[in-house]
Homo-oligomer: A and B are copies of this chain.
C-alpha cells in the first residue's frame, strides 16, 4: 500500500455507454476527454469525516460525500473494507509499509481532489469517471485489496446517486478499459471484449439532458419483435468486435428500441447521423443518455471528416458544441504514485 499522506494522481477516462444497440450492457472508454484527480489517505482521529472532497474545477458539485458521486462510491468501499482487511491480513498478509498493517476503517480517511475535465451532464460518463476514479485510487492506496468487479460494485453507488439507478455500463469500461459487456448486474458480471482499432468522434451539443429524464421517457414494455431485432444486432456487434469485422460492426450499430425515443431530445439527430455515415462512419448514435453523439470510424481521416460534418451541422443551426476525435482507451482508470 501507499504510505499515509502521500498523494497519488489519477486519470479517469470518459466512456460511451450503450454502444447503440446494447442499452445498459455495453460501453467503451475513450482516451479523450478524461478527469484528473489526486488522492491520499491519512490516519483519522476522533470524529473527523472519513472522506473529504475538494473540487478544483468550476462546476460547484457538492462536497458532502453523501451527495457527491465519488463520495458515494468511497462510502460503499469503506463499508466493506473492515471485512476485507480481516480476510486479507489472514490470507494474504498485506501490510502497510509505515505501520505494518492497514488501520481499521474507523482510523482511515481519504482526501480527494477532483478536476473535472469531462463536463457533467454531457453523456460521456462524467459521474462514472469520478466514482470509478475515486475507488480505483482508494484501492491503489490500500494495496489493491479489492478486485475490479468489487470496484465496479462500489462505483455503481455513485451512478445511483447521479441517475437514480444502479447501472454499470459507464463504470465497467471506465475501470476495465476497452469495450465491456455487463452480462448481469445482480450479481455483477463484467466481461472484457477485444476490439479492433476504432476511431471515435464525439460531439457534445450544449443542451441539458438529465439522465433521470432520459430514463423516464422510455417505455417499460417493448415489442417482442423489436427485442428480437435488438438482440440480433447485439450479438452481431459482439461478433464484429471479436472478429474485427468492421462491416458487421457497422450493420449491427442499430437501435430500434431506445434511440427512436431518446433522439427526440437531441436537435438534428437524424440529419447528423445520416451526414456522418455518408462521410464514412461505420455507425454510431446517442452516447449514454445523451446529449452527446458518438460515431465510430475505421480510420483517423474518416473520424476527422465526421467531426467536420458535426461542426457544420451544429454551426448551421447555431448550437454551441464541443467535438473530440479520439480512440478507444484500453487501460481504464490509471494511477501514478
Instruction: Write the residues of chain A forming the contact surface with B, with a CB cutoff of 8 angstroms.
Output: 22-26, 181-185, 189, 191, 193, 218-225, 227-236, 238-239, 242, 248, 251-252, 257
- A88 nearest CB across to chain B (Å): 25
- A120 nearest CB across to chain B (Å): 25
Taking a contact as CB atoms under 8 Å apart, the answer to whether B224 and A183 are in contact is no
Taking a contact as CB atoms under 8 Å apart, the answer to whether B220 and A223 are in contact is yes
**Inter-chain contacts of A232 with B (CB < 8 A):** 24-25, 181-185
**Inter-chain contacts of A24 with B (CB < 8 A):** 228, 232
**CB < 8 Å: which of B222, B229, B235, B239 contacts A22?**
B235
Interface-central residue, A183, A189, A219, by most chain B CB under 10 Å: A183
- A181 nearest CB across to chain B (Å): 5
Taking a contact as CB atoms under 8 Å apart, the answer to whether A231 and B230 are in contact is yes
- A42 nearest CB across to chain B (Å): 40
**Inter-chain contacts of A183 with B (CB < 8 A):** 232-233, 235-236, 248, 251-252
Taking a contact as CB atoms under 8 Å apart, the answer to whether A236 and B191 are in contact is yes
**Inter-chain contacts of A189 with B (CB < 8 A):** 236, 251
- A321 nearest CB across to chain B (Å): 30
Taking a contact as CB atoms under 8 Å apart, the answer to whether A230 and B229 are in contact is no
**CB < 8 Å: which of B181, B227, B235 contacts A26?**
B235
Taking a contact as CB atoms under 8 Å apart, the answer to whether B224 and A221 are in contact is yes
Given A191-B239, A238-B238, decide whether A224 and B230 contact each other with a Cβ distance below 8 A: no
A191-B235, A191-B239 are known contacts; what are 16 more A-B pairs with Cβ within 8 Å? Answer: A22-B231, A25-B231, A25-B232, A181-B232, A183-B233, A183-B236, A184-B229, A184-B251, A189-B236, A219-B224, A221-B222, A221-B223, A222-B223, A227-B257, A238-B242, A242-B242
